[in-house]
Amino acid sequence: MPNAALHDTKPWDTAVEMTQVSKRFRQKQNGDNVLANLLHPRHKTVDALKEVDLTIRRGEFVAYAGPNGAGKSTTFKLLCGMIGADSGRVRTCGLDPLRQRIPLMRQIGVLFGNRTELWWDHPVLSSFTWKKAVWEIDERTYQEQFALACEMLDLKHFLHTFVRELSLGQRMRADLGMMLMHRPQFILLDEPTLGLDVLAKRRMIDFLKYLNREQGTTILVTSHDLDDLTEMAQRIVMLSAGRIAFDGAPGDLQRRAGDPRRVTVVCGATPALPGCTLLGSQGERHTFAFDPGRVSVSALLSNIARLPGVKDVELSRAPIEGVIAELYRNWREEAPG
Amino acid sequence: MAGKVKRLFSLWAHYAKMDAQWFAQDTGMFLLVVFSETIANFAAVTGLFLLAVRFGGVGDMSVDEMLFMLGFYTLSTGLVNMMDGGNALNISRRVGRGQLDHCLIQPLPLWMQLATEGFLPVSGSAGALCGLGFLLFAAARLRLAVSPLWVLGTVLFVLCSFAIQVGMRYIVSLSAFFHPAGSEEISAVMGGFLSSLGYYPLSGLPGWARAALNTVLPAGCLSWLPTLILLGKAPSPTLSFFYPLFAVLIFGAGVTTFQKGMKLYAKRGSSRYKAMGHRS
C-alpha cells in the first residue's frame, strides 16, 4: 500500500455510510445423532444484515440497539474492516474499511465491552505507552489525551496496577482511556457498560457525553440497557432481525411505542379498574397497565378514590425495556419470512 | 522500504522494553524464569547428547558433531520461541480463538504486527543463547576452519531453519480458519512435532523416510540437514543451494495460505472468542 494511503486523513462529513448492506452467516446445526452429525452435517443460513441503509454524520451520538443476534456486532465488524459485506457499500469516515484499514484505524477508536486491548500481564501504564508506540502518537497529543483520560476516568489510582488485577469497571475505564490516546474522531463502542455497577456506568456515560459535546467526537454505541442509550444518544437506530426497524430521536421512539403507564394500588383485595389491565399482584400491591390516551389520569384516580381500603397509589411510566421488548415482538411478527 | 525497516526496528525496540519490564518485575519472577528456562533448554537436548557420549556418536555423527547439531537445533528453535510471545507464531491459536480482530484494529500491516508483537529478546532468549553456546563450543572442539563465509552460511541456515518452522506452523494453521475449535492448537502440534524430531540424525533411516522428513514434514531440515552441509558431510554440494530455496518455498507457502485464510476470515469472521487478554 502506498504511504499516502497509509496516512490518508482527508476530511470527512459522514462517519458511516452503509448502502444496501447485506451479510449472511452459515451456522452449523447439530442434533443428538452422532453419526448423522458426522456424515451429514447440517447448516442454516442466518441473515445478520438485510439491505441495511445507514448514514451517520460527523458529530452525531448514535445509539445502536437490538436484541441478541439482531446484527449489531456484525455492523461494527463491517465498519472496522474485520469482515466484508456480501453486498452493498460500506464506508467509514469516507474510507473503505477492508481496503483502507490502516488509515481508517488512525482515525477511529474501537472498544468491545467483553474484549480488552490492555496488556494482561503488564501495568495499565504499559498499555498506554504501547498504544503511543504502535499508533505513532505525537508527544503533545498523547500528553493531552492522557491527562484528559486520567482526570475524567479517574485512572491515576491504578495506572501502575497489573491489568489482570483490575476490577471490571477499572478495566473498562482503562480500555476507554487507552482507546482515546490517538484522539479518534469517531468511536465505536460495543456494550461499553456491560457488567458495570451504577457508579462506573454513570462515569462512563458522563465521559462519553463530554467527548461528544466538547470534542465533537462522533459516537456509535450499542448497549442492552435502553435507559442508558436513551439518556446518552441524540438518535437511536434499532435493529430487528437484520433490518433497521427504527431510526430517530429517543422521543420519537417513545411516541411510536405509545406512552404506556403503570398504576400500583395498595389495598386488600384485587380491585377492578375500568380501562386498566392487571399485570400482577404481590401481597397487597396490585399493578395495572393503562393508556392515558384512553383512560385519563384524573378519571383513573377518581375510580381509585372510590375503592374501599386503598392505602397507597403509585403512578409511573412503563419501563422502556418492556416497551421495546413489545416493539421487537411486533416487528418480528411483521417481518417478512 | 526504508521506512518499513525503521518502523520494524522501532517496534522491536518497544517490545524489547516491554519484555524487559515484564521479566524484571520482581526478583522471584526473574530468578524463576532464568532457572526454569535454562534447565528446560539443557534438558531438551541432554538425553540425546548422553546417548551420543555413551555410544561414541549416533549414526555417522561423532559426539562433537552431535553437539554441533544440538547447538544448531537449540539456536533455531530458540529463535522461534523468542518471536512467539502472545502466540504470534502459533497463529492457529489467534485464529481459532477469534483474536485476529484485535490485530485488525491496529494501524499496522498484519505481517508487521505478527513479526514484532511476539518479540521476547529478554525473557525468551534462553534457548537461543544456550544454542549459540553449544554451537560455538562444538565448533571449537571440531576445530572447524571458520571463515566469514562459513559464519554467514551458518547465520543463513539458522534463519532458514527458523523460516521452515514458522512456514509450517502457518501452513497447517489454514485449517483453523475453517474449523476454529478443532484446529486451535494445530500450529503448536506442528511445532511440537518438528521440534521433537528435529534434533535426531536421520542417516540411519530408509531413503523414503529421510525424503519424507526433509520435505513433507521437514523435521530433518531443522538441524540435521544444515549441520551436514555446514560440516561438509552433505551427500551433494547442491544441497547448500536447495536448502535455502526450500526454506523460502515453505515460508512463502505459509504466507500465501495465511493470506487465503484471511480472505475467508473477511467473509466468515469468527463466531468464537476466548478472552483473558488476547495475547495469552
Q: Residue A5 has what pLDDT?
A: 42
What is the Cα–Cα distance from A72 to B272, expressed in whole angstroms?
Answer: 16
Q: Smallest CA–CA separation between B120 and chain A, in Å?
A: 14
Asked if A164 has any chain B CB less than 8 Å from its own CB, the reply is yes
Please say whether the beta carbons of B272 and B180 come within 8 A: yes
Q: Which residues of A touch B280 (CB under 8 A)?
A: 120-121
Q: Smallest CA–CA separation between B14 and chain A, in Å?
A: 7
The least confident of A137-146, A231-240, B238-247 is A231-240
Are B279 and A130 inside 8 Å of each other by CB? no
Q: Residue B279 has what pLDDT?
A: 66
Are B266 and A119 inside 8 Å of each other by CB? no
Q: Scan residues 180-209 of B and list those with Cβ closer than 8 Å to A.
A: none
Q: Scan residues 15-34 of A and list those with Cβ closer than 8 Å to B.
A: 25-27
DSSP string, A113-171: TT---S-TTSBHHHHHHHHHHHHT--HHHHHHHHHHHHHHHT-GGGTTSBGGGS-HHHH
Confidence band, pLDDT 50/70/90 cuts, at residue B35:
confident
DSSP string, B77-127: HHHHHHT-GGGSSSHHHHHHTTTHHHHHTSSS-HHHHHHHTT--TTTT-HH
Q: Is B256 exposed, middle or buried (0-12, 13-18, 19+ CB in 10 A)?
A: middle
**Overall average pLDDT of the A269-280 stretch:** 88
Asked if A53 has any chain B CB less than 8 Å from its own CB, the reply is no
pLDDT digits (tens, 9 = 90+) for A209-229: 999 999 899 999 988 777 778
Give the number of other CB atoms < 10 A from CB of residue B131: 24
Are A115 and B101 inside 8 Å of each other by CB? yes
pTM: 0.84
Overall residue count recorded for chain A in this entry: 337
What is the Cα–Cα distance from A57 to A61, expressed in whole angstroms?
Answer: 9
Q: Which of B109, B269, B276 sits opposite A83 (nearest CB)?
A: B269
Asked if A91 has any chain B CB less than 8 Å from its own CB, the reply is no
What is the amino acid identity at position A255?
R
- Computed over every residue of chain B, the mean pLDDT equals 91
Q: Residues 6 or more apart from A76 whose CB is under 8 A from it?
A: A110, A112, A188, A190, A220, A222
Q: Which residues of B touch A130 (CB under 8 A)?
A: 14, 18
- Whether A121 has a pLDDT exceeding 50, the answer reads yes
Q: Which residue has the higher pLDDT, A36 or A125?
A: A125
Q: Smallest CA–CA separation between A216 and chain B, in Å?
A: 22
pLDDT digits (tens, 9 = 90+) for B199-214: 889 988 899 999 999 9
Asked if B144 has any chain A CB less than 8 Å from its own CB, the reply is no
Q: Which site among A44, A82, A165 would you substitute to test the B interface, given the most B Cβ atoms closer than 10 Å to its Cβ?
A: A82
Q: Which residues of A touch B179 (CB under 8 A)?
A: none
Which residues are registered as beta bridge partners of B73?
none
- CA neighbor of B117 nearest in space, from B136, B145, B148, B94: B94
- Cell digits for B228? 551436514
Q: Smallest CA–CA separation between A257 and chain B, in Å?
A: 33
Between chain A and chain B, the number of residue pairs with CB atoms below 8 A apart is 83
Q: Residues 6 or more apart from B261 whose CB is under 8 A from it?
A: B95, B173, B174, B176, B177
- Whether A10 has a pLDDT exceeding 70, the answer reads no
The least confident of A117-131, B21-35, B77-91 is B21-35
Please say whether the beta carbons of B198 and B219 come within 8 A: yes
- Whether B190 has a pLDDT exceeding 90, the answer reads yes
Q: Which residues of B touch A116 (CB under 8 A)?
A: 275, 277-278
Are B277 and A163 inside 8 Å of each other by CB? yes
Q: Which of A26, A27, A101 sits opposite B104 (nearest CB)?
A: A101
Asked if B273 has any chain A CB less than 8 Å from its own CB, the reply is yes
- CA neighbor of A17 nearest in space, from A95, A86, A120, A98: A95
- CA neighbor of A185 nearest in space, from A23, A3, A309, A16: A16
DSSP B219: G
Q: Residue A6 has what pLDDT?
A: 42
Are A102 and B107 inside 8 Å of each other by CB? yes
pLDDT digits (tens, 9 = 90+) for B114-144: 999 999 999 988 899 999 999 999 999 999 9
Confidence band, pLDDT 50/70/90 cuts, at residue A1:
very low
Give the number of other CB atoms < 10 A from CB of residue A308: 8
- Computed over every residue of chain A, the mean pLDDT equals 87
Asked if A331 has any chain B CB less than 8 Å from its own CB, the reply is no
Asked if B264 has any chain A CB less than 8 Å from its own CB, the reply is no
Rama region for A183: left / alpha / beta (φ>0; ψ in -120 to 50; rest): left
pLDDT digits (tens, 9 = 90+) for B52-105: 888 888 888 899 999 999 999 999 999 999 999 888 999 999 999 888 989 999
**Are β-strands A61-65 and A42-57 bridged in parallel, bridged antiparallel, or unpaired?**
unpaired
- Whether A159 has a pLDDT exceeding 80, the answer reads yes
- CA neighbor of B146 nearest in space, from B112, B155, B62, A19: B155
3-state secondary structure B136-205: HHHHHHCCCCCCHHHHHHHHHHHHHHHHHHHHHHHHHCHHHHHCHHHHCCHHHHHHHHHHHHCCCCCCCC
Q: Which of A83, A102, A126 sits opposite B21 (nearest CB)?
A: A126
Q: Residues 6 or more apart from A207 whose CB is under 8 A from it?
A: A152, A153, A176
Q: Residue B5 has what pLDDT?
A: 94
- Cell digits for A301? 384516580
pLDDT digits (tens, 9 = 90+) for A23-35: 998 888 888 888 8
Confidence band, pLDDT 50/70/90 cuts, at residue A336:
low
- Whether A3 has a pLDDT exceeding 50, the answer reads no
Q: Which residue has the higher pLDDT, B274 or A10?
A: B274
- Cell digits for A269? 383485595
